[in-house]
Structure 1
Amino acid sequence: MDLVEIAPPAFDVELDLRYATADNVTGAPIYTRAAAYLHAEAADKLARAIELARPLGYRFKIFDAFRPPEAQWKLWNAYPSDEFVADPRRGSPHSRGAAVDLTLIDGAGRELAMGTDFDAFTPQAHHARTDIAVEAQRNRALLLGLMTAAGWDCFMNEWWHYQLFNPRHRLPLISDRALARPLMA
């Protein structure tokens, strides 16, 4: 499986890979190495989204990308609800290299207000919420517009999650051991 590393300078993004830190829903690092990878098709769509955001003065901050099935189990064990975490028995789009979690940042590197933080497993994280600040609604709509214009599908429960269309039917699960330098110990 061809996975592309998502990192500057090849991709004009900022990395904040939360699952390599304790700043995530599990409260502990899941990855031992902070690196982001995507399937080649997803990497191409991310590059397109970057091109679309640039003239507007925005960039992307990446929170997560490829997530090995082993890591998906750790998330599921910490938060066993398919409202926000894919059941690892079915497999996650992340575990196929077909999903990215991200937000928009301005020219100074500040995150745009989105109404919740990344991995806020609450109904306020759902797209199209009207009970969050109007500015956050606009920013979510901007993010959604950029990503869908670049060819991504969204997950309605998480404003930060975008994926290729029909990844479960098109792409196999990828083990952490498939990477030259695995993310997990």
Structure 2
Amino acid sequence: MPAPEEEFVVIAAVAGAHGVRGDVKIKPFGDPSQVCSYGPFLDKSGAVILTPTQAKPGPNGTVTLRLKENLTREQVQAMKGTLLHAPRSALPELEEDEFYYSDLIGLTVEGLEGDALGKVKSVQDFGAGDLLEISGPDGVWFLPFTKAAVPHMDLAAGKLVANPPETIEGDEDKDP
């Protein structure tokens, strides 16, 4: 088990059971060919949840795992949606201008004029590209994670500058 001060990064989520022998299908949040190279999968406190012994690519970017743990299909199905973590120290070194999505969580979001818009709560992808989920004074809202919508990030300062779209295309004619 990693040291208690070790930082953990979410690298995959359980997508469900595969077959009848307790194999698990996961959705990796990075390179599917590397997801099993970081050691056993941990929970957010660092406890081992799953230990893959064999991995093979599945459909739609999933990976099917054979496990050291002797789980039933029903036990694996009950884990659907469980986030799988790895110690940050086990992940590859990043280039100077690279970052992990987990580095964005908690960043302060400012508008172009320096006005406070909220904090990054999570990074989501619903199929049309990455979105930053931002918790602000007016509630939760989503910002496309593009260069146009996020023209500047300063991880060291803990903030990003947002240029939120004024309207969503097709929304102009709708009554409030």
TM bucket normalised to smaller: under 0.3
Query: TM-score scaled by structure 1?
Result: 0.25
Q: Which has the higher contact order (CA 8 A, sep 6+)?
A: 1
Query: Bigger radius of gyration, 1 or 2?
Result: 2
The structure where helix makes up a greater share of residues is 1
- Structure that is richer in strand per residue: 2
